[in-house]
Amino acid sequence: MAVLLVVGGLRQAKEERGPGAVALPGMLDERAGDRLIGTAVDDGALQREPGYREVLARQFSTLTPENAMKWAVLEPERGRVEWGGADRLVAFAEEHDQEVRGHPLVWFGQLPGWVEALPEPEVQQVMREHIRQVVERYRGRVRTWDVVNEPFEDDGSRRRSIFQRGMGDGWVEDAFRTARTADPDAKLYLNEIGAEAPGPKSDALYALARDLRARGVPIDGVGFQGHFNLEGMPRGFRQNVERFAALGLDVAITEADVALEMPASEGELRAQAAVFRGVVEVCRAVPRCRSLTFWGFTDRHSWIPATQPGRGAATLLDEELRPKPAFRSVLRALGR
């Protein structure tokens, strides 16, 4: 965000602090029952914006670091580990009696360059060291981990990440077993994007989860990210989630948002609210859906404008932390 400078720096300070918290028409976490309601957390806003922190503390029961636990942030140079953002989030959650969903331990994206450049024979050792280092630091403090994130291409083939090239198909199992050793009590998840509907990617994810489960690999759940737009949820979303739950696995919606073309009309905001309501209803309809996490809660801090030019307004609150129709719709869906 651009910062305006004026005499005395008063405008600058105001911009950096962000808007103050608004009185919202209900509490998301109080209506959630036995399901956790969470959000991704922007570390910069957590540090600088009291209004953001106030909403974060009051409205959610579980927090996911948006970037602070990604490998490139934690260890930008080999051997130089920077725990600041991750430590801040975990401490904030503990102060406010919230759980933490660690995200992600192993992902092809946002890797530091030194990992991408590893000779293939070193990949297994380095991956194991990274998992052990991170999970052991937060052992007993981070309850759930997205151990492996996005291992498949859209056609259901294995993504040719450095881990796939260096270790073959066994890298996913290796990651889960390493994480279990580092914290025997944590819940371990396999997380995927674009697998909400039945199809090649979802079928490949299902086959992997079933195989891991059958062979005693310590997998506790599967996460469906839930990045949608006004096309709505894909047909068969609920039935797809149910088949994973039928394996004896927990399921979660881990990154829900609904992107709009900008500028968004009032009608589009109402349509967005209906999509969010449907997401909540899917989670409520599946007993093993343990948590629903929104990928950010305010349009002030959303990944959509930077990654999908021309789109935005994807969250529950506007840039001034005021409730949108989506917030009220989610409240109703949770309280029904």
pLDDT in 10s for each residue of the chain, 336 residues: 333 333 333 334 445 789 998 899 999 997 556 799 999 999 999 999 999 999 999 999 999 999 999 999 999 999 999 999 999 999 999 999 999 999 999 999 999 999 999 999 999 999 999 999 999 999 999 999 999 999 999 999 999 999 999 999 999 999 999 999 999 999 999 999 999 999 999 999 999 999 999 999 999 999 999 999 999 999 999 999 999 999 999 999 999 999 999 999 999 999 999 999 999 999 999 999 999 999 999 999 999 999 999 999 999 999 999 999 999 999 999 984
Residue 261 designated active-site = no
Residues 173, 192, 196, 255: which is the catalytic one?
255
What is the C-alpha to C-alpha distance for residues 319 and 19, in angstroms, rounded to an integer? 8
**Is 136 known to be catalytic?**
no
Which tens digit of pLDDT belongs to each residue from 160-193? 999 999 999 999 999 999 999 999 999 999 999 9
Query: What distances in angstroms separate CA 183 from CA 85, 87, 106, 200, 237, one per listed residue?
Result: 21, 17, 16, 33, 32
- The catalytic position among 66, 75, 99, 150 is 150
Query: Is residue 63 within 8 Å of residue 39, measured between CB atoms?
Result: yes
CA–CA distance from 22 to each of 19, 49, 113, 278, 315 (Å)?
9, 13, 41, 26, 16
What are the sequence ranges of the domains in the chain?
Answer: 23-335
The CATH homologous superfamily to which domain 23-335 belongs is Glycosidases (3.20.20.80)
Q: Are 132 and 178 in contact (CB under 8 A)?
A: yes
Given a contact cutoff of 8 angstroms between Cβ atoms, the answer to whether 12 and 25 are in contact is no
Both tokens of 315, joined, read 């969250």
* Structure tokens given for 335: 């309280």
